[in-house]
Chains A and B, each alone.
Chain A
Amino acid sequence: MDALEIEGISKSFGDFYAVKNLSFEIPAGTIYGLLGPNGAGKTTTIRMVMNIIIPDEGSIKVLNQRMDEEMKERVGYLPEDRGLYPKMKVGELLLFLAEIKGLKGSEARKEIDFWLERFDLSDWKSKKVEELSRGMQQKLQFIVTVIHQPELIILDEPFSGLDPVNTKLLKDVMLEMKEKGRTIVFSTHRMEQVEMICDNICLINKAERVLEGNLSQIKKQYGKNTVILDYDGEANFIKNLPEIDRIDDYGKFMEIKLKEKSSPQDLLPKLVGKISINKYEVREPTLNAIFIEKVGGEEVKDEEDIISH
Chain B
Amino acid sequence: MRKILSVIKREYIQIVRTKGFIIGTVLGPVFMLGLIVVPIIVSSASVERQETIGVVDLTNEIFTELDKKLDHREYRLKDGFRRYILEKYEPSPGVEEVRNELRERVLKKEISAYIYIPEDVLESGARESAVKDATVPEEVKAEYVSEHTTDFEELRSLNRALNNVIVEKRLKSEGLDPQKVAQYIKRVELQPIKITKKGEEEDTAGTFMISYFLALIIYMAILIYGQVIMRGVIEEKSSRVVEVVLSSLKPFQLMMGKILGIGAVGLTQFSIWTLFGIGASLYSTSFIPAGADFAMPSIPAHVFIYFVVFFILGYFLFGTLYAAIGSVVNSEKEAQQLVMPVTMFLIVPIMLMIFIIRAPDSPLAVFLSMIPFFTPILMFLRITVLLPPFAQIGVSIVILAITILVMVWLVAKIYRVGILMYGKRPKFAEVVRWVRYS
A59-82 contacts to B, CB under 8 A, are 69, 72-73, 75-77, 79, 81-82
User: Within the assembled complex, what's the spacing in Å between the Cα atoms of A83 and B247?
Assistant: 13
Tell me the smallest distance from the CB of A50 to a CB of chain B, in Å.
5
Contacts of A69 in B (CB 8 A): 3, 249-250
Please tell me if B244 contacts chain A, counting CB pairs below 8 Å: yes
Nearest residue in A to B438 (C-beta to C-beta)? A54
Do the beta carbons of B239 and A85 come within 8 Å of each other? yes
A211 is an interface residue with CB less than 8 A from chain B? no
A53, A54, A76, A96: most-surrounded residue (chain B CB, <10 A)? A96
A54 to B438, CA, bound (A): 8
* Interface check A97, CB cutoff 8 A: yes
| B248 and A97 contact, CB distance less than 8 A | yes
**A86-B240 Cα distance, complex, nearest whole Å:** 10
* Chain B residues, Cβ within 8 Å of A100: 3, 6-7, 245, 248-249
Digitize B220-242: 1 where CB-to-A-CB distance is under 8 Å, 0 elsewhere.
00000000000000001001111
Determine the chain B residues whose CB is within 8 A of the CB of A97 once the complex forms.
Answer: 244-245, 248
Best-buried of B236, B242, B248 by chain A (most CB within 10 Å): B248
| Bound Cα distance from A73 to B6, whole angstroms | 14
Interface size of B by Cβ–Cβ distance < 8 Å?
23
Q: Please determine whether B10 and A96 come into contact, CB atoms closer than 8 angstroms.
A: yes
What is the number of residues of chain A that contact chain B, defined by CB distance less than 8 Å?
29
Within 8 A of B (CB), among A80-95: 81-88, 92
Interface residues of A in 130-179 (CB under 8 A from B): 141, 144
Q: With A96-B6, A97-B245, A99-B6 in contact, do A84 and B250 touch (Cβ < 8 Å)? A: no
Find residues 1-19 in chain B having any chain A CB closer than 8 Å to their own CB: 2-3, 6-7, 9-10, 13-14
Contact across chains for B243 and A79 when beta carbons are under 8 A apart: yes
Complex formed: what's the CA distance from A51 to B347 in Å?
40
Nearest Cβ distance between residue B233 and chain A, in whole angstroms? Answer: 13
Instruction: Kindly supply a per-residue 1/0 record for chain A positions 23-54, scoring 1 wherever the CB is within 8 Å of any chain B CB and 0 otherwise.
Output: 00000000000000000000000010010111
Give the nearest-CB partner of A96 in chain B.
B10
* A257 on interface, CB distance cutoff 8 Å: no
User: Which chain A positions have C-beta within 8 A of B250?
Assistant: 69
Is B14 a contact of A81 with CB atoms below 8 Å? no
B239 touches A79 (CB 8 A): no
- B232 shortest CB reach to chain A, Å: 10
- Tell yes or no: B399 within 8 A of A by CB: no
Contacts A85-B239, A100-B7 given; does A52 touch B246 at CB 8 Å: yes
Interface membership of A101, Cβ < 8 A: yes
How many Å from the CB of A144 to the closest CB on chain B? 6
B420 at the A interface (CB under 8 A): yes
* Neighbouring B residues of A73 by C-beta, 8 Å: 248
Q: For the complex, give the distance between the alpha carbons of A213 and B2 in Å.
A: 41
Q: Among the interface residues B3, B240, B241, which one has the most CB atoms of the partner chain A within 10 A?
A: B241
- Contact indicator A83/B249 (Cβ below 8 Å): no
User: Do B239 and A84 touch across chains, with their CB atoms under 8 A apart?
Assistant: yes
**Is A79 within 8 A of B247, CB to CB?**
yes
How far is it, in angstroms, between the C-alpha of A92 and the C-alpha of B6 when the chains are bound?
12
**Docked pose: A104 CA to B14 CA in angstroms:** 20
Q: Which one, B239, B241, B247, contacts A72 given CB within 8 A?
A: B247
Most chain B beta-carbon contacts within 10 A, residue among A92, A97, A100:
A100
Chain A residue numbers with a CB within 8 Å of B240 are 79, 81-83
Contacts of B244 in A (CB 8 A): 77, 79, 83-84, 97, 141, 144
Q: How far is A99 from B240 in the complex, measured between Cα atoms in Å?
A: 19
Closest B residue to A75 using CB positions: B247
Tell me whether B420 and A87 are in contact (CB under 8 A): no
Interchain CA distance A101-B246 in the complex, whole Å: 10
Q: Which residues of B contact A54 (CB under 8 A)?
A: 438
Contacts of A79 in B (CB 8 A): 240, 243-244, 247
By a CB distance below 8 angstroms, the chain B residues around A82 are 240
Question: Which chain B residues lie closer than 8 Å to A50 at the CB level?
Answer: 246-247
A47 to B438, CA, bound (A): 15
State the CA gap A57–B194 with chains docked (Å): 67
CB distance from B164 to the nearest CB of A (A): 68
* Given the contacts A79-B243, A100-B3, A72 and B248 also touching, CB distance less than 8 Å: yes
Residues of A within 8 A of B10 (CB): 88, 96
Out of A76, A83, A86, which one reaches B243, CB within 8 Å? A83
> How far apart sit A169 and B6, CA to CA, in the bound complex (Å)?
31
Q: A88-B14, A100-B6, A100-B7 are in contact. Are A52 and B245 (CB under 8 A)?
A: no
Cα distance, A101 to B3, chains bound together (Å): 8
**Considering only CB atoms, which chain A residue lies closest to B6 in the complex?**
A99
Q: How far is the CB of B265 from chain A (nearest CB, A)?
A: 15
A99 (CB) vs chain B CBs: closest residue: B6
Decide: A83 and B3 in contact? CB cutoff 8 A: no
B243 and chain A: residue at smallest CB distance? A79
Q: Known contacts A54-B438, A96-B10, A99-B6; decide if A84 and B246 are in contact (CB<8 Å).
A: no
**A residues in contact with B14, CB < 8 Å:** 85, 87-88
User: Which residues of A are in contact with B by a Cβ distance under 8 Å?
Assistant: 47, 50, 52-54, 69, 72-73, 75-77, 79, 81-88, 92, 96-97, 99-102, 141, 144
Given contacts A47-B420, A50-B247, 14 further A-B contacts (CB under 8 A): A54-B438, A69-B250, A72-B247, A72-B248, A73-B248, A77-B243, A79-B247, A81-B243, A83-B243, A85-B14, A86-B239, A99-B6, A100-B6, A101-B248
The 9 closest A-B pairs by CB, nearest first: A83-B240, A77-B247, A79-B243, A83-B241, A100-B248, A81-B240, A99-B6, A83-B239, A96-B10
Offer 29 A-B interface pairs, CB within 8 angstroms, sorted by A.
A47-B420, A50-B247, A54-B438, A69-B250, A72-B248, A75-B247, A76-B247, A77-B244, A79-B243, A79-B247, A83-B239, A83-B243, A83-B244, A84-B239, A85-B236, A85-B241, A86-B239, A87-B14, A92-B13, A97-B244, A97-B245, A100-B6, A100-B7, A100-B248, A100-B249, A101-B248, A102-B2, A102-B3, A144-B244
